[in-house]
Structure 1
């Protein structure tokens, strides 16, 4: 069979079944690209997309991003130098039913070799020679083994596997209909392509009543289109609809469908800007990034959160303050999974006072159910990876678990182990990408450890080796150069100006996840303790950087980690400030920890009234309390008299605000602090963050500013007694306080 014959045969059966086919052209790169051009000529498709590494799609996937939301009859992806699993994941979804996905690859037997190693995984001080090929070997194996995947050896000019499956003809979709009680325009339902999509649109009508609507589906089912039709219907009725997503490209389909519907209805007034549609009745559909949208600016009537599972719980919870909200999310996918959404957010949703309406779309729109290319992509990129079933670990205790290394060889040899471990890692973070699977299997700086119960993964940790950098690399980092895979040394060096921070070697805990069936029972702490025992003598420090919440800070503090930095900007997606914590294990690690602890204490005093003036008080309390070695406050005798007079007599806070700030900081850094939670929040909001009295009183639920002022004075009394000098004691006694 010639290549032309194979292409015709693949295309013919793909069109008959409304499925897609995968064609792999393996061998020399130029021969592969020539063969791809011949294949496209056979298809007679001048609009087919060819993505090559010369366009930079391996490291800069803009070309692949342009395909999001589009449909193609054929896409060619060059998988030679700069190959990226992220790009492959994006490209797969762009091929329409009846179309071909063409991969131009090295020889499949040689693809895992060092000459094809992904240099992006060579984190300094490692080199490309240290990158393994397990991911690429696994990818090649799935291509060879999967139905609907043809393989051509372009060097030999032979068809290794024709990929033909002789499928039955495609079944037509169940046509949608307009519900008898529909309140959205009939044109919206007539724009639906499946009955599933119409059912989802009907569920989204409940946004008119203030409900929280959850729409879940795999990719290609039309969930974003249904959300767009709902947004257009609401805007046509004069409603203000705020749309948010991790990036505008995620929500582009929402806007396209909303605009098309408003045009059909004759109510489109225009685009106020690139991200805003206006309707003639005063309604609109507008996009804002999650950090802006979380404040609900201009009081929208409804919010649509697309790719909701890609956002953290804190951000999602904020949207429950909207009059109505729709969470549109992917069940299986790397921009967040529906399973993660369920585990992390459903309890918050259930505890709200909202009526919750669920809708799920199962029927693919652009290709038939069971499409072999979709099934292959799910397997090859572990898009449907999930943890072990609850009942397999639910009754276990940390003492029942076995600590074990999950090296790449073990993971690739045991598909169930790989799926369980990676499924937990996907749930541990709201943004996990296909490239993370390649890193897990091939990156030389990563180590994976787990606790297993009867062979099933109950907890997993991914550790990244950082530091140990040469003097020249440390100097370059200090002068602004970025060094891959060394996040903690990078921050400590480039931002905090420590030229020696990259010298000690450490392990950063990149991810840690516990199965939700045994969460909060000690598995995470047991796993960390075992990692510390195994690696502690080989490195100088353990560290972690994460979006700070009080619960997470307390977890890391309990496990021996101490705060050395709090970022001064919020993460644009999570909306959280990041904490960096260290756990030293050697003299070099102690020195690194101690000097950054001192510097953190010195800068946080003023930072809280500047860049961190909106840091949540409970987060501030947690990160400060998790800092080692707080010295006593250093106030002059005069300052002590002012503070003592304000606490016990007629003194004024405004007479020495710096002294009140120093004493507040000393109290919050003190592990034996005696104030209650509300008093500590008051110390954060007023003396440290310098909030005005009215705002602070309102934030902390005081009935008046006068009551708030009295409460602050009362909060300082035990501080004067604990830290005060003879001058403070003399002033205190002046007002009859014994």
Structure 2
């Protein structure tokens, strides 16, 4: 059989079962590209149904660079060719595979299979971070790729002869078919036909636009959002059409005059939703000619107006959490990728729908379930749960979906709850997990990845490559009866040469050194990349064993193991009060708070350090000092919108060393003490000397002076440090009036005056108080 005959057989076999097949063309690159053209021609598809993902240019077909493979998400192709010789990544592999339709072919242009463990250099460069070289990078992932290609059903492998250009021979040898990839099915699994739902408020056209019965069932469930007080959760694996179902539901709601607000990690994540909504509104002839946004929705795009007065609009998660213009319905796509804090704020909407991926790298349904479902269940909503199982583009049991999930561990799950439910710091064991350990124990590997995915929405296929092959990473775990209950992924950073340090200082990026990069380039410390440290890149504890100290126990083991070998430990994360408290308790203190917030989480990133050596103490000490010196000014400017509880947590975590003369002291001159006493006991005002109260607030929040309630400390943050107007502070903190808020401020100052001793201005305060009492 020649290549044309093989392609024809694969297409026929795939069409019969409404499945996909994978064709691996192995050999030199030019021969592979030539063979890919032959395969496309043999498939007899239109040019528009083909995409080539390659670093090369000059093709007549739609072409994307591998770095832009995500543009295929949500699209459909009959053939996708991925040139793996250059620019290959695990992320790109996942992104292009999802675009292939039932009956279609995924074509991989690869080196000879036996050579792959020593090639695919893009994977090497991805994890060869300084000071490590290419020679330090492993090849476990490349070996895994070869194994899954050789053994998984539905994969055809063709060994190619050298290209004519390489051999100067017009008659190259015949191809060798190592596997034909054909599967014998007892019966085909064609797509199911949608059905109508006459007992819902949605029009028939909404269901006629569905591609499967499962999707129609999802749209019917989402119709509950027509009535206030309802919440709907749609869960599905990738490719089940949940975003399309949400788009059809949004269109039906808007066609009935509802104002629908859509949010997702980015607008790209919601593109499919808007596309299907547009199609349905056009079918219903409800799409208004003028779809411009109202003047009060300048942050919301793109608005889609309907003839019934409804609309569909998009907002980033932080903006959507404010429920701008009071929407009738909120729909969240890829909800598992959003922080619980933002999701909870959306529960003030009249009706809300959540669409979430169960297995995938946009976020995990498991994480969503663990972190948010209890909050939703405790709300006042009537909750409808929908699970979509039927793939949209291909039949159930598609072998290429299973191959991708196996290769990239997309279906990895944490250990079952009952296996770790009794774990405590006293019953677990600390273990080093090497790449060999993961390769030799697939169950362990899947449990570790499942924990990471459930805890961190940013986990992606490229992380599998890092886990297996990155020379700068260390993986440590606590095991309960052999099952991982808590895992930590540590990334070695720093230890760079003087030349590399100079490059960072001049603004050049040095891969894989996040903390040294920020400390050097942004905070202008030319020697910060010299000391060596471990950044805690990920730490995850099983949801069934949280709040027992397991995360702190794991960190303590890591500190003991590596503390003598490095200068510092560090971490960077989206700052929340809970996380700031966790890292403070474990000996980390802040050195930076980003002045911009993440557009997905709405959080400002905090960087914290824990010194281990003299060099680490020097590094952490000066950056902690610089942080204290600059943050007061930032709070009235670039950080004026940060939540007061985050600021409280950041400043409390500063933990100034006992021998530091700036340890939360209140060093005022005589006039300063008189100003305080005047506000506490007399006619003085805050406005007469704001800098005095700024000193007071900073000193107290770093090292408490008086016993203040959380509300009182929030008042200090919002008024004194962030300089918000009295009316704003009163409204945010629930005071009945500005007057009441100011009286509360006076009470706070009085508590400070009563807390200071004689050496801290007590005599002056006593004299001033006596003056007013007299």
TM-score interval (norm. to shorter): over 0.9
CA distance in 2 between partners of 1:672 and 1:386 (Å): 47
SS state at 2:81 partner: strand
Query: 1:152 Cα deviation (Å)?
Result: 1.3
- Counterpart of 1:482 (choices 503, 509, 517) is 509
Partner of 2:52: 50
Bigger shift: residues 709-718 or 231-240: 709-718
Map Cα deviations across residues 636-660 of structure 1 (whole Å, 9 max, x no partner).
2112111121112221111101111
Q: Structure 1 residue 653 and structure 2 residue 693: aligned? A: no
> Tell me, which stretches of 5 or more residues in structure 1 are unaligned?
none
Partner of 1:268: 287
Is the 1:466–1:486 contact (alpha carbons within 8 Å) kept by the matching residues of 2?
A: yes
- Pair 590,183 (structure 1): closer, same or farther in 2 beyond 3 Å: same
CA distance in 2 between partners of 1:53 and 1:270 (Å): 41
- Counterpart of 1:380 (choices 407, 425, 430) is 407
Is the 1:16–1:168 contact (alpha carbons within 8 Å) kept by the matching residues of 2?
A: no
- Pair 721,551 (structure 1): closer, same or farther in 2 beyond 3 Å: same
Bigger shift: residues 64-73 or 303-312: 64-73
- Counterpart of 1:358 (choices 385, 389, 394) is 385
- Counterpart of 1:214 (choices 233, 243, 266) is 233
SS state at 1:461 partner: strand
Q: Structure 1 residue 686 and structure 2 residue 719: aligned? A: yes
Alignment of 1:4-43 (within 5 A): 4-43=4-43
Partner of 1:612: 639
Query: 1:49 Cα deviation (Å)?
Result: 1.2
CA distance in 1 between partners of 2:305 and 2:67 (Å): 29
Is the 2:494–2:513 contact (alpha carbons within 8 Å) kept by the matching residues of 1?
A: yes
Q: Structure 1 residue 676 and structure 2 residue 709: aligned? A: yes
CA distance in 2 between partners of 1:83 and 1:595 (Å): 42
- Pair 504,178 (structure 1): closer, same or farther in 2 beyond 3 Å: same
CA distance in 2 between partners of 1:643 and 1:54 (Å): 71
Query: 1:231 Cα deviation (Å)?
Result: 0.7
Is the 1:114–1:132 contact (alpha carbons within 8 Å) kept by the matching residues of 2?
A: no
Partner of 1:324: 351
Is the 2:705–2:752 contact (alpha carbons within 8 Å) kept by the matching residues of 1?
A: no
Q: Structure 1 residue 149 and structure 2 residue 155: aligned? A: yes
- Counterpart of 1:346 (choices 361, 369, 373) is 373
Query: 1:729 Cα deviation (Å)?
Result: 2.7
CA distance in 1 between partners of 2:713 and 2:113 (Å): 62
Q: Structure 1 residue 511 and structure 2 residue 547: aligned? A: no
Q: Structure 1 residue 203 and structure 2 residue 209: aligned? A: no
CA distance in 2 between partners of 1:721 and 1:635 (Å): 16
Query: 1:120 Cα deviation (Å)?
Result: 2.0
Partner of 1:522: 549
- Pair 632,556 (structure 1): closer, same or farther in 2 beyond 3 Å: same
Query: 1:633 Cα deviation (Å)?
Result: 2.5
Partner of 1:248: 267
- Pair 571,540 (structure 1): closer, same or farther in 2 beyond 3 Å: same
Partner of 2:167: none
CA distance in 2 between partners of 1:28 and 1:596 (Å): 52
SS state at 1:19 partner: coil
Partner of 2:169: none
CA distance in 1 between partners of 2:276 and 2:126 (Å): 38
CA distance in 1 between partners of 2:18 and 2:98 (Å): 14
Is the 2:55–2:65 contact (alpha carbons within 8 Å) kept by the matching residues of 1?
A: no
Query: 1:329 Cα deviation (Å)?
Result: 1.1
Is the 1:268–1:278 contact (alpha carbons within 8 Å) kept by the matching residues of 2?
A: yes
- Counterpart of 1:239 (choices 258, 270, 292) is 258
Bigger shift: residues 320-329 or 714-723: 714-723
Partner of 1:734: 770
CA distance in 2 between partners of 1:599 and 1:25 (Å): 57
Bigger shift: residues 112-121 or 705-714: 112-121
Partner of 1:644: 677
Is the 2:682–2:772 contact (alpha carbons within 8 Å) kept by the matching residues of 1?
A: no
Partner of 2:78: 73
SS state at 1:124 partner: coil
CA distance in 1 between partners of 2:545 and 2:637 (Å): 41
Partner of 1:179: 197
CA distance in 1 between partners of 2:452 and 2:124 (Å): 22
Bigger shift: residues 517-526 or 317-326: 317-326
Bigger shift: residues 339-348 or 115-124: 115-124
Partner of 2:296: none
Partner of 2:761: 725
When the two chains are superposed, the root-mean-square deviation of aligned CA atoms in Å is 2.0
Partner of 1:664: 697
SS state at 2:547 partner: coil
- Pair 478,219 (structure 1): closer, same or farther in 2 beyond 3 Å: same
- Counterpart of 1:389 (choices 386, 396, 416) is 416
- Pair 114,171 (structure 1): closer, same or farther in 2 beyond 3 Å: closer
CA distance in 1 between partners of 2:763 and 2:502 (Å): 49
Alignment of 1:296-307 (within 5 A): 296-307=323-334
- Pair 320,427 (structure 1): closer, same or farther in 2 beyond 3 Å: same
**TM-score, normalization: structure 2?**
0.92
- Counterpart of 2:144 (choices 133, 138, 146) is 138
Is the 1:667–1:719 contact (alpha carbons within 8 Å) kept by the matching residues of 2?
A: no
- Pair 63,607 (structure 1): closer, same or farther in 2 beyond 3 Å: closer
Is the 1:645–1:731 contact (alpha carbons within 8 Å) kept by the matching residues of 2?
A: no
Aligned length: 738
Query: 1:177 Cα deviation (Å)?
Result: 2.4
Partner of 1:125: 131
Is the 1:82–1:118 contact (alpha carbons within 8 Å) kept by the matching residues of 2?
A: no
Q: Structure 1 residue 467 and structure 2 residue 494: aligned? A: yes
- Pair 59,559 (structure 1): closer, same or farther in 2 beyond 3 Å: farther
Is the 2:54–2:65 contact (alpha carbons within 8 Å) kept by the matching residues of 1?
A: no
**TM-score, normalization: structure 1?**
0.97
SS state at 2:446 partner: helix
Partner of 2:165: none
Query: 1:195 Cα deviation (Å)?
Result: 1.7
Map Cα deviations across residues 300-330 of structure 1 (whole Å, 9 max, x no partner).
1111111111112122222112221111111
CA distance in 2 between partners of 1:720 and 1:445 (Å): 52
- Pair 62,84 (structure 1): closer, same or farther in 2 beyond 3 Å: closer
- Counterpart of 1:111 (choices 101, 112, 116) is 116
Is the 1:114–1:128 contact (alpha carbons within 8 Å) kept by the matching residues of 2?
A: no
> Tell me, which stretches of 5 or more residues in structure 2 are unaligned?
162-172, 293-300, 657-662
Is the 1:640–1:727 contact (alpha carbons within 8 Å) kept by the matching residues of 2?
A: no
Query: 1:711 Cα deviation (Å)?
Result: 1.1
- Pair 293,188 (structure 1): closer, same or farther in 2 beyond 3 Å: same
Query: 1:548 Cα deviation (Å)?
Result: 1.0
- Pair 58,680 (structure 1): closer, same or farther in 2 beyond 3 Å: farther
Is the 1:385–1:422 contact (alpha carbons within 8 Å) kept by the matching residues of 2?
A: yes
Query: 1:728 Cα deviation (Å)?
Result: 3.5
Q: Structure 1 residue 257 and structure 2 residue 263: aligned? A: no
